[in-house]
Amino acid sequence: MPYVGGVSARIELDRLRKVYPAGPRGGQTVAVDDLSLVVEPGEVLALVGPSGCGKSTTLRMINRLIEPSGGRVLLDDVDTAGLDPVTLRRGIGYVIQDVGLLPHRTVEANVATVPRLLGWDRARTRARVADVLDLVGLPAGTYGRRYPHQLSGGERQRVGVARALATDPAVLLLDEPFGAVDPEFRRHLQAEVAAILGDVGSTVVLVTHDLDEAVRLGDRIAVLSRGGHLEQVADPLTVLARPATARVRDFVGDGAALRMVSPSGGPAVVVVRDDPDGADADDAAADTGPGATVLAARDALAALRAADRLGG
Averaged pLDDT, groups of 10, the chain, 312 residues long: 61 96 76 95 95 94 96 95 92 83 94 91 94 90 94 86 88 84 74 82 91 90 94 93 92 56 41 45 42 43 45 45
pLDDT in the model for residue 181: 67
Task: Kindly state whether residues 242 and 118 are assigned to the same domain.
Answer: yes
Do the domain assignments include residue 5? no
Task: Kindly state whether residues 187 and 210 are assigned to the same domain.
Answer: yes
Task: Kindly state whether residues 202 and 276 are assigned to the same domain.
Answer: no
Please tell me the distance from the alpha carbon of residue 13 to that of residue 62, in angstroms, as a whole number: 8
* Domain carrying residue 259: 255-312
Q: In this structure, are residues 239 and 251 in contact, taking their beta carbons and an 8 Å threshold?
A: no
Do the domain assignments include residue 6? no
- CA-based nearest residue to 190, from 179, 201, 203, 204: 179
Of 207, 235, 254, the one marking the end of a domain is 254
pLDDT in the model for residue 265: 38
Task: Kindly state whether residues 138 and 226 are assigned to the same domain.
Answer: yes
Q: 3-class SS at 253?
A: coil
Domain count, the chain: 2
pLDDT in the model for residue 79: 96
- What DSSP line would sit under 135-174, residue for residue? HTT--HHHHTT--GGGS-HHHHHHHHHHHHHTT--SEEEE
Task: Kindly state whether residues 248 and 309 are assigned to the same domain.
Answer: no
Task: Kindly state whether residues 148 and 261 are assigned to the same domain.
Answer: no
CATH number of the domain residue 199 falls in: 3.40.50.300
Do the domain assignments include residue 1? no
Do the domain assignments include residue 101? yes
**Quick one: the chain helix, strand, coil %, rounded to 5?**
40, 25, 40
Q: What's this model's pTM, rounded to 2 decimal places?
A: 0.79
pLDDT in the model for residue 212: 86
Do the domain assignments include residue 3? no
pLDDT in the model for residue 188: 76
Identity of the residue numbered 305: R
Of 231, 254, 277, the one marking the end of a domain is 254
Task: Kindly state whether residues 239 and 278 are assigned to the same domain.
Answer: no
Please tell me the distance from the alpha carbon of residue 130 to that of residue 142, in angstroms, as a whole number: 11
CA distances 48 to 52, 144, 225, 234, 247, Å, are 11, 34, 9, 12, 12
Do the domain assignments include residue 217? yes
Task: Kindly state whether residues 97 and 129 are assigned to the same domain.
Answer: yes
Task: Kindly state whether residues 294 and 278 are assigned to the same domain.
Answer: yes
Task: Kindly state whether residues 192 and 297 are assigned to the same domain.
Answer: no
Do the domain assignments include residue 94? yes
Q: How many CB atoms lie within 10 A of CB 123?
A: 8
Task: Kindly state whether residues 70 and 159 are assigned to the same domain.
Answer: yes
Sign of the dihedral defined by the CA atoms of residues 191, 197, 198, 204, in that order = negative
Of 217, 238, 254, the one marking the end of a domain is 254
Do the domain assignments include residue 137? yes
pLDDT in the model for residue 49: 93
**pLDDT tens-digit series, residues 55-114:** 999 999 999 999 999 999 999 999 999 999 999 998 899 988 777 889 999 999 999 998
DSSP code for 117: H
Gyration radius of the chain's alpha carbons: 21
Task: Kindly state whether residues 173 and 292 are assigned to the same domain.
Answer: no
